[in-house]
Amino acid sequence: MIELNQIERRTIGSLLQDYPFLEGFFSDNRLDISGAHHSSVADYLDSFDSLTQEETALDPSAIKQQMVGFINQMLLFLGEDDEVRAITLLPGTDKSGTPEGFDSLIIRSGEVISIVGPTGSGKSRLLGDIEWVAQCDTPTGRRILINGDTPDNSWRFSTSKKLVAQLSQNMNFVMDLEVKEFVSLHAESRLVQDADEVVDRIIAEANELAGEPFSAETPITSLSGGQSRALMIADTAILSSTPIVLIDEIENAGIDRKRALELLLSEDKIVLMATHDPILALMADRRLVIKNGGIAKVLETTTEERKLLGTLEQLDQTLMGYRNQLRFGDSLTLIDNEK
């Protein structure tokens, strides 16, 4: 949380550089800061004589306090006042009341965790516990820590602070917008600097992920399932403030799965993948085996499995080649990946 003594002696220019949204604060309070960027907040407000203060109902002390409150509210909204470096899962029980098969599980930013298990085994319940920052008050009895400590209630009850962004199997758009318009709306809501550059990067990254390219002018309602998923992965990686991303069965999206993970990790996200795909499972640092509503095992990806992953990726490249032959209307011909 920002306090008054942290801002009142700073120059207005330096504050605007760190908190560009303050431009709106000054404007809303009818304070002309043109030419005052080298003045401190305190000096700028003290420059108004008593007559001007009386005529404009300007109270420097109140303005400074309001500014502090405004900054803290905006940081809370933007998700920039708390950095999540790691989450810790403390075990509960499965549906039968049997203790889960681990003592504690720490997941750090930049890690990929796969979640495997049959349909209905409890993968969604695990996600729910993480998203709601469970404190022994869900059916599993699990407890979630943030950065090793019990989180404050803002992570649980604030509408602006979200721990998890979910990318489900079905991405259906209903807004009648072009791709660039849609992403620009998100960028504007995040008050990002160089919004046009960020939007262009998101669209470019999405095209790298998608099996079929699309343009910035494509209506979002016309995007295929794979294109929609690619756009949302790129948008979540680059624009979303949520530290954790859950991807549900990315193998069905028709996108470059490895590149998608690399993009998310480059933005220091924690990635949780519910998957039945052995390639994705082995790309993860660890995998959680879910049975009967609980985490039965936590498995580290072994050296032997890494070798197996290379073989599986070669097979996957071959299958992708045949899919592309079919997609573009070609006759199927033998693919030799060793060429």
For residue range 8-41, what is the model confidence (pLDDT) as tens digits?
888 998 888 888 888 889 988 889 998 889 999 9
Residues 240 and 331 in one domain: no
The one-letter amino acid at 95: K
Residues 254 and 333 in one domain: no
Residues 295 and 322 in one domain: no
The closest of 283, 296, 301, 316 to 99, measured between CA atoms, is: 296
Residues 219 and 295 in one domain: yes
Residues 249 and 330 in one domain: no
pLDDT at 247: 81
DSSP 4: G
Expressed as residue numbers, the domain containing 236 is: 108-127+155-306
For residue range 120-133, what is the model confidence (pLDDT) as tens digits?
899 889 988 998 89
* Bigger pLDDT: 200 vs 251: 200
For residue range 138-179, what is the model confidence (pLDDT) as tens digits?
999 999 999 899 988 877 876 666 788 887 666 667 678 999
Residues 175 and 296 in one domain: yes
Residues 236 and 264 in one domain: yes
Tokens representing 135 are: 């404190």
Whether residue 94 lies inside any domain: the answer is no
Residues 241 and 327 in one domain: no
Mean pLDDT estimate for the chain: 86
With a pLDDT cut of 90, the percent of the chain lying above it is 35
What does pTM read for this prediction? 0.69
Whether residue 146 lies inside any domain: the answer is no
- The domain spanning residue 207 has which CATH number? 3.40.50.300
Contacts of 236 (CB under 8 A, 6+ apart): 165, 167, 242, 245, 264
Whether residue 99 lies inside any domain: the answer is no
Whether residue 10 lies inside any domain: the answer is yes
What distances in angstroms separate CA 32 from CA 29, 38, 121, one per listed residue? 9, 14, 60
The number of domains in the chain is: 3
Whether residue 285 lies inside any domain: the answer is yes
SS (H, E, C) 129-154: HHHCCCECCCCCCCEEEECCECCCCH
pLDDT band at 104 (very low <50, low <70, confident <90, very high): very high
Do the beta carbons of residue 206 and residue 254 sit within 8 Å?
no
Whether residue 164 lies inside any domain: the answer is yes
For residue range 64-96, what is the model confidence (pLDDT) as tens digits?
999 988 888 777 666 554 678 899 999 999 999
Whether residue 292 lies inside any domain: the answer is yes
Residues 165 and 261 in one domain: yes
